[in-house]
Structure 1
Amino acid sequence: MTVAVSPSDRRQRRDRRAASHPLASELAGALERDEVTLLFQPQFAADGALYGAEALVRWDHGELGKLAGDELVLIAQGSHGLSELARGLTDHVLRRALAAAGAWPDHLSLSLNVTAADLAAADFTAAVTAALADTGFDPARLTLEITEQAMVAELDRSAMRLEELVALGVRVALDDFGAGFCNFRYLKKLPLHYLKLDRSMVQGIAEDRRDLEVLRGIVAMANALDLKVIAEGIESEAQRDAVVREGCAAWQGYLGGKPMAAGDFAAL
């Protein structure tokens, strides 16, 4: 005998399978109610022109306040990195961000963060392909940002997945460069277009000669590898002037604007 299962029962079973984090069920409900939102931090080209924006996910939890991207990923993945909830979060962010960026002028780009679980998912490329097709967003305007931590365990698999995405026309950035091990094998193995400097790499460049020389070395290496450098965490005009002078292609940080709602970014 077949027993009918209600949609609510299916959701509950899915949530139990999805993750062991105590907030997993609440996050699943927030996604269904479209309460997980996006903010956009402006990115600027070396000449000061608006270049694009990085999409940042936020969840305004009633008791815990605003939870950011890394926290939401931990909740969604729990003890099962490839859970349905983690995939649901990725799909939510991907489609909401592409829909918002679709209203921007055609010369502006969109950056999205990619997790280790995303790269491990066999259907991730298909999900990106479907989202691009459904929204009509130009793949060349999309940059996927990956961190060293996302590739430590499975570099070969990550490289294969990124090659699939690059074949679609998507761009790839190595995010938080300088904050981790700086494994130069990544630069040889991965199909990269950008190095995105961690904020720790630019904090002292306006005052400390050694910090400035490190920046120069990174930019020189990137140029030799035909990679563009994006600096994040720019909070002063002196920092901005330094990264522009030393050859960074773009920058972002509180000097240019804090993460903002889609409507506020559109007003720029």
Structure 2
Amino acid sequence: AWADGRHRARGRSVARLEADLIGALHRQEIAVLYQPQFRVGDGMLAGAEALARWEHPGLGRIGAETLFAVAERADQMAPLSHAIASTALAGAHAWPAPLRLSLNVTAEDFALPDFAPALLARADAAGFAPDRLTIEITEQTLIADFDACAAALRTLAARGVAVALDDFGTGFSNFRTLKALPLDTLKLDRSLVRDVAHDDRDRAILAAMVAMARALSLSVVAEGVENDAQLAVLAQEGVDLFQGFLRAGPLDGAAMARLASGAP
């Protein structure tokens, strides 16, 4: 439960961790790993989701959950998101088309009045085509100002950026979100995938979600796929993409580049 460094961070003062993070951002020490995504139908690589990691000199690797918690307390969410996006885009620059890059977006990102044009500018600066970029949002992200978020998403969509609704099925699913936003993808949480191979009710829920997505012309991505039985059910139910340890865990930039190029 504490695999991302939270147990080690407990012994360090919050103020010290915040100062450490500010220093790490200044020195560009926040790393990006890439979680590959594959097509369910033929197993081909489709792209990857960017994940932030902090290699703390005293605490070791600190995962995204703790990293973002520290950043929120230190009022560094926007600089952190900027750093992650810039690093991820630079790393994905050499991937062959049509491989896609997915970036997670926070409520603090949307609070910035220039969020959409700034993200597009970073993509342009990295030489990464916006129509190969996906941003992942959660319904929690949209709570502060739904209309402003929707406007930013429309600006991005006009340049070809795809929008995925992440963690779908883990909480209250507001159908206003599905109706009002320029969504392209529903991303199913790993909790919806875990038991689909042996629980009829879970499989029925999965099938219903895929049917709804199809009715709305949305693609479906499944997270947390760990075995062939799960993948077989996803294929039978028409899920488009999957990610998980069945094929690959998070990779560093060099390993992802080799995978993207088809190298062994």
* Shared fold per TM-score greater than 0.5: yes
User: Any unmatched runs of 5+ in structure 2?
Assistant: 1-13, 260-264
Q: Does 1:70 align with 2:65?
A: yes
Q: Does 1:227 align with 2:218?
A: yes
Selected match of 1:174 from 162, 165, 175: 165
**1:23 aligns to what SS in structure 2?**
helix
Q: Does 1:43 align with 2:29?
A: no
Instruction: For residue 22 of structure 1, report the CA deviation from its aligned partner.
Output: 4.5
Please tell me whether Structure 1 or Structure 2 has the larger radius of gyration of its CA atoms.
1
User: Any unmatched runs of 5+ in structure 1?
Assistant: 1-19
Name 2:257's counterpart in structure 1.
266
Instruction: For residue 260 of structure 1, report the CA deviation from its aligned partner.
Output: 1.1
Name 2:24's counterpart in structure 1.
30
Query: In structure 1, what is the Cα distance between the partners aligned to 2:18 and 2:100?
Result: 32
So what's the TM-score if we normalise by structure 1?
0.88
Alpha carbons 1:194, 1:230 under 8 Å: kept: yes
**1:77 aligns to what SS in structure 2?**
helix
CA RMSD of aligned residues (A): 1.4
Question: What percent of counterpart residues are identical?
Answer: 49
Instruction: For residue 232 of structure 1, report the CA deviation from its aligned partner.
Output: 0.5
In structure 2, relative to structure 1, the CA distance for the partners of 1:171 and 1:61 (3 Å cut) is same
Q: Amino acid of the residue matched to residue 239 of structure 2?
A: C
Name 2:119's counterpart in structure 1.
128
Q: Does 1:116 align with 2:107?
A: yes
Name 1:202's counterpart in structure 2.
193
Structure 1, residues 159-205: CA drift from partner, whole Å, max 9, x if none?
11111111121100000101121222210111100000000011110
Alpha carbons 1:119, 1:158 under 8 Å: kept: yes
Query: In structure 2, what is the Cα distance between the partners aligned to 1:161 and 1:149?
Result: 16
Instruction: For residue 62 of structure 1, report the CA deviation from its aligned partner.
Output: 3.1
So what's the TM-score if we normalise by structure 2?
0.89
**2:205 aligns to what SS in structure 1?**
helix
Alpha carbons 1:228, 1:249 under 8 Å: kept: yes
User: How many residues matched?
Assistant: 245
Query: In structure 1, what is the Cα distance between the partners aligned to 2:15 and 2:129?
Result: 36
Query: In structure 2, what is the Cα distance between the partners aligned to 1:137 and 1:244?
Result: 30
Selected match of 1:142 from 129, 133, 141: 133
Structure 1, residues 29-70: CA drift from partner, whole Å, max 9, x if none?
112222210101110012110010111000022343322223
Range moving further from structure 2, 197-206 or 57-66? 57-66
Instruction: For residue 78 of structure 1, report the CA deviation from its aligned partner.
Output: 1.6
Name 1:8's counterpart in structure 2.
none
Structure 1, residues 60-105: CA drift from partner, whole Å, max 9, x if none?
22343322223222222227xxx4x322111111111111111111
In structure 2, relative to structure 1, the CA distance for the partners of 1:21 and 1:77 (3 Å cut) is farther
Name 1:55's counterpart in structure 2.
50
Query: In structure 2, what is the Cα distance between the partners aligned to 1:30 and 1:188?
Result: 40
